Structure 1
């Protein structure tokens, strides 16, 4: 498995737009280079489609049998990112008795929306056949992700019709736990150069601006039955905090089990980097959700 730094990427990913994002990328890639405990079994570079980014890595506890599975998508604004950014979570997740699946997905603007969303759904369909080989239960899926990955996790959890078309049965997705997820792409008058504006200039480039709502989890909550646990940082962006608050209210209107956690003093990147601590509250929420939905 390649653990290249972003600046050495042979795929030609564009430069990250903000210094804080570049610092985060270096930090998670450094964590990815740390050795894993011998108790973590790794199956790297598994294909779920023909494209070079339609790949996933599996981290399994030794001796796993019909274990629950956490699928966690990396962030990077849909334009950047590596599945290796998730690797550092493997010791904590497997210690809880779960498999960790870390996928890559096609990135925009080379592959416009809905390509990343389609990849998320296609991955879940592929896992149904593949998970038993690593000791995972295909009907005990818990979805998570950071930032853009949190958006993809939510879109996959809410995409009932897309999952049914791919023969993923209702109930296979047991819960969704996005971290600092971008749950609403719409912005009325984004400031030039802002993250909100970047959605229109980069993510939705070449598409109608009206597509911003089509690709936003907020607008897909009707009929949802998947429990959600939403996590943001106290110092997260206003867009992230506001969209997660709105998503919580819409889920509650559907009478779906949904919780909110705001991490004191933490910013958009801390909320993921802090998961290097195995006792982090997010892991406790994950385990509680696994136990509640067993």
Structure 2
């Protein structure tokens, strides 16, 4: 589905600013953990509307190719009447797969168990993120083993909304194995490997196929098709006309509208 910018902007629900209460660098791992790097990176920030309860929750994983990045949030997600959680996670080359996926699952599990204390509703948790963060959102949401380790059924997630994320095996995972970035692989570290009928609703968002990272739209389109082949009818894809991989800002209204459906 090709979507023009003006259409996206008109979908953003008009509302006055709802100011947030903020918490920073909250540990989502045991502080007795012996891995100092895990303790360092195993923190998250929370922004929730003041004086409210049971709000939808967006967990936003940052991008950076699984090699760099910090838990900064797009400003447009703040003060919008929803809770937003932004975790850090460990990065290659200091760790390798599946450590960053394990960290993402730890953060999600922490949110399920604790977000009610901050004004969020654990039954309204949406996983999102940009690029590598979109990949992590899909891996945690699609491969049920990661949340199962925390006694959480991944199908409890309200929605998955990855922004330009890999659905094939991530290029950093391939690099760890000495596989060139242009060589596509679909294995247990690919969201495509885990397509299933009982997954949460999924909205895939990419840039224009002619301007995006080569193949990024196509792998997302294949994921959408294979989800539907497997009987998952609540998968949709948006291709943002005129935008390349830098498609975060124009796509944020879509994410916010999805979150507001759970208000």
**TM-score after normalising by structure 2:** 0.80
SS in 2 for 1:214: coil
- Partner Cα distance (2:178, 2:43) in 1: 25
Mark the CA change 1:199 to 1:167 in structure 2 (over 3 Å): closer, same or farther.
closer
- Deviation string for 1:136-188 (max 9, x for gaps)? 111211010100100000001112233233122454301100001011127xx
Verify: 1:238 aligned to 2:225, yes or no: no
Secondary structure at the aligned position of 2:221 is classed as: helix
| In structure 1, C-alpha distance between the alignment counterparts of 2:74 and 2:258, rounded to whole Å | 22
Q: 2 CA distance for matches of 1:262 and 1:154?
A: 18
- Structure with greater proportional helix content: 1
Cα deviation, residue 62, structure 1? 1.3
5 Å-filtered alignment, 1:69-148, equals: 69-84=57-72, 86-91=73-78, 94-95=79-80, 97-148=81-132
TM-score (norm 1): 0.72
Residue 238 of structure 2 is aligned to residue 266 of structure 1? no
- 1:255 CA displacement: 2.4
* RMSD (Å) for aligned C-alpha atoms: 2.5
Note the C-alpha offset of 1:290.
4.8
Listed as ranges, the gaps of 5+ residues in structure 1 are 1-36, 187-195, 275-279
User: Equivalent of 2:45, from 33, 57, 74?
Assistant: 57
| Structure 1 residue 67 corresponds to structure 2 residue 55 | yes
Unmatched runs of 5 consecutive residues or more in structure 2: 1-16
Which structure ranks higher in relative contact order (CA pairs < 8 Å, sequence separation ≥ 6)? 2
Partner residue of 1:45 out of 21, 25, 37: 25
Aligned residues: 233
Give the match's secondary structure for 2:187: helix
The separation in 2 between residues aligned to 1:241 and 1:38, in whole angstroms, is: 34
Aligned match of 1:283: 253
Q: Against the structure 1 CA distance between its residues 228 and 199, is the aligned structure 2 distance closer, same or farther, given a 3 Å change threshold?
A: same
The secondary structure found in structure 1 opposite 2:86 is strand
Q: Distance in 1 between matches of 2:146 and 2:96?
A: 18
